[in-house]
Structure 1
């Protein structure tokens, strides 16, 4: 009589690695890393703002005029100089929908040059 050999059960690590790799490829192809922007996305229109902007935000109108708490601002340097020191860490701007993008970028760059550490653009989604 011969003895039966007891088989040692090996772990199927190669099969597991293959399955995980295939799942990774599937989710990379099937999914998106960021959701696409909605076609109905509309930015804030400051003509209908009626005082609902954040209190510390700089409002940029379509014609390039700047206001803060309803008062006209002549330059971004004056705006940043009027802010408390802790508010300069994050400066918020509310752009008009019709404001040219080049002007928005220029104002943001100017804010950074005069001491704003981080510039945040405040927008909202239209729920149409």
Structure 2
């Protein structure tokens, strides 16, 4: 005698998926709490950007300046720096400077004795 098996619906799998989605949304909500409604962010659109005083500035035409004074080349600049300043050298490139020139300058600074070359850029928020 054959018994008819009742076909079970996959409700357990559906409950598991809904439970996992619930946990995901709860975790996502706690990771990024909303900003306070009365908070106003600082506006920097009108600020004039200036390079830090201890950074090597590379202009669009390839000229180098340090603290407003012209620098002849990367090797001579690194040679004049104290040992602590050579560990991390800050570089501010012009946006119009070709990337190949920037890479070439970074390599020259490293060969001249700079431990780490850090590029200072403008950060924009969406």
- State how far apart, in whole Å, the 1-side matches of 2:112 and 2:80 are: 12
What is the TM-score with the length of structure 2 in the denominator? 0.59
Question: 1:1-128 alignment to 2 at 5 Å?
Answer: 49=49, 52-126=50-124
Q: What secondary structure does 1:94 align onto? A: strand
Q: What secondary structure does 2:91 align onto? A: strand
- State how far apart, in whole Å, the 1-side matches of 2:122 and 2:54 are: 17
What is the TM-score with the length of structure 1 in the denominator? 0.58
- What are structure 2's unaligned runs of at least 5 residues? 1-19, 21-47
Give a deviation string over 1:57-111, Cα, whole Å, max 9, x none.
1000000000000111010011111211111000010000000000000000000
Residue 29 (structure 1) aligns with: none
1:115 Cα deviation from its structure 2 partner:
0.2
- State how far apart, in whole Å, the 2-side matches of 1:54 and 1:77 are: 20
- State how far apart, in whole Å, the 2-side matches of 1:67 and 1:58 are: 6
- State how far apart, in whole Å, the 2-side matches of 1:85 and 1:54 are: 19
Of structures 1 and 2, the one with the larger relative CO (CA 8 A, separation 6+) is: 1
1:127 Cα deviation from its structure 2 partner:
5.3
- The runs of at least 4 consecutive aligned structure 1 residues that moved more than 2 Å come to none
Q: What secondary structure does 1:102 align onto? A: helix
